[in-house]
A and B are shown apart, each in its own frame.
Chain A
Amino acid sequence: MAQNPQATAAVPDLSVRLGPLRLKNPVMTASGTFGYGEEFADFLDLGCLGAVVVKGISLLPRPGNPPPRIVETPAGMINAIGLENVGVEVFLASRLPGLRERGVPVIVNIFGNTVEEYAELASRLDGAAGIEALEINISCPNVKQGGMIFGTDPAMAAKVVEAVRLSTGLPLITKLTPNVTRIGEIARAVVDAGSDILSCINTVAAMAVDIFSRRPKLANVMGGLSGPAIRPVALRCTYEVVRSVNVPVIGIGGITGAADALEFLLVGARAVQVGTANFINPATAVEILEGIERFLQVQGLAGIEEFIGTLDTGCLFPFAEESCEWIDLKQP
């Protein structure tokens, strides 16, 4: 199996730097798929993870959407949970302390329905001990703008990030939605507004119906698709975002194994988040970590930095200029 037996001796360095954020490894769990961490403690050692991104938090508790909230689709699932959460006060009082004791860096995902809500949430979390960074979910409707999704408009997305930036000194990650025409534009706007890091993608807008009852399968009618079905879309988005901005990017979307995670790192993501796969195998994140380590050993690489962003998009015959021209001729 090992191509280079000498190289397997050393333990590869998995640590990564994402702007102001330093992580012992690039594998995190995605918001909304890992609860508040505690739910998974029986299945894996939380302390092994690069970070845990907790379920999205709002200022006030939210009951969530009426059921059915999920439906399985080919190699994926659609959810319309409705951002059910305990609210920031309960989170700080009874969820965060337990998770901190597990020795894992905590990233708090936040969302609101107005710019002011985002800002207030950020300032409440700013003072709390044991939070490494905030991840801003901008895939929410702006109630003051007729319910338009913040993350689909560069100006509106930037306003949220600006307001959060003014409210906290914590590293800021902005989580991008793929449901836009030019994701790079949104990426540039939120980086200009002060986002230190970007993560992509959130779920893909989707729908499922039942031909017998002639009803939508979700009470909310539409929802967000996740799972392996979206991985190629997520990979393309990550690649585009990496090329559009000069800040670190976290790749998310349908990662179920080490090879999937490495795809995102290859196109330039500096870390990944594991989402839906946590539901199917609660130990996925740790297995991915072990898989990445083995891959680096087999490849004879000293650390993950030697692999990140090394995608080779050059011509097939790099030493023959004629071949490159031949390929160029095919371009319009």
Chain B
Amino acid sequence: MGKMQEDARIIRNEEVARMTWLMRLHSPGIAARARPGQFGMVRVREGIDPLLRRPLSFHRIHSGKGEIELLYRVAGKGTWWLSRCQPDSLVNITGPLGNGFTMPDNPSAAIALVAGGIGIAPLFELMVRISESRSKIKAEKMHLFYGARSADELLPAAVFESTDVSVHWSTDDGSFGFSGYVTELLEEWTARAGFRPTELFACGPLAMQHNVARWALARDIPVQLSLESLMACGIGACLGCALPAVHPGGSSAEHYVHVCKDGPIFSAGSIQWRKIRKQQLPSPIFPCD
């Protein structure tokens, strides 16, 4: 089944952590087609300002009920408007877009996931699916390393109870769990526990993903990173969401991949991290915006 455009009806839209909103939508077409790690382009508002759709990954996909959930951080004008949307109103979504995660081949694999802040969004549906596929076998729990800047930005522990995952928490300011970056926790805990994942999944700020990539590459652990970028179309037409990548022919020639079409899921070794520019990092929201 291909991509589609759908007017989704909002069932619920509420703040579940600081600046972090959960929107549940009735979107049967997209719910039937979507896989974990894919995303939709959401038109936050009618009219021409903001002009562009916002790419948001699927946090939950309830194909049976024809519903999807989006977890998003209010980070600018677009997501602010989205947070203003009321239940029963419609938002137009195109999707499902992108490649999505590749499910682990070996169901009893030792799986670790690393989430930074809103990076938990696409990982959640993946954890649910892996939990389901492993429900009948005896495997070690998945390990989720989940960090945010502060305790109030974390999802509550209760939401993870339905999944086969043990959560290791961290906050940059030490207000909950390990004090420091989530990548430091990953390094410390795995070393202490002697745990070596055979499959690694990550999503979060670019700097965090870079550290996860370096950690995994040094240990030869395959990792699937869910990356993001500004994007206009989401379907490979505007070519705006480019990231510097390793040339497929192995040459040193300049080469770019596109987050919308080649991703958003990438292996750590495919990205040319050194060539990513400072402008790629997000800027704070202007207080009056």
Contact = CB atoms under 8 A, between A and B. Distances in A.
B239 A279 contact: no
Q: Is the interface of B mostly helix, strand, loop or mixed?
A: loop
A213 B277 CA distance: 13
B198 to A, nearest CB: 32
A213 B280 CA distance: 11
Nearest to B261: A39
Contacts of A68: 229-230, 277, 279-280
Contacts of B252: none
B248 interface: no
Contacts of A76: 51
A94 to B, nearest CB: 15
A256 B243 contact: no
A67 B256 contact: yes
Given A72-B51, A213-B283, A282-B94, A67 B243 contact: yes
A280 B43 contact: yes
A98 B80 CA distance: 41
A218 interface: yes
A79 B48 contact: no
Contacts of B281: 213
Contacts of B244: 66-67
Interface residues of B, number: 42
A70 B275 contact: no
A286 to B, nearest CB: 12
B5 A84 contact: no
Contacts of B237: 33-35, 39-40, 55, 278-279
B254 A77 contact: no
B242 A72 contact: no
A75 interface: yes
Contact of A42 (B4, B50, B253): B4
A90 interface: no
Given A77-B52, A228-B51, A282-B5, A64 B232 contact: no
10 contacts: A35-B236, A40-B235, A63-B253, A66-B244, A66-B277, A67-B240, A81-B238, A84-B242, A279-B232, A280-B43
Interface of B: 2-5, 43, 48-53, 92, 94, 229-233, 235-244, 253-256, 275-281, 283-284, 286
Given A67-B279, A84-B239, A276-B51, 8 more contacts: A32-B238, A69-B239, A70-B230, A70-B240, A210-B283, A278-B237, A279-B232, A282-B5
Q: Which 7 A-B pairs have the closest CB atoms?
A: A70-B240, A35-B237, A42-B2, A279-B233, A279-B232, A63-B254, A42-B3
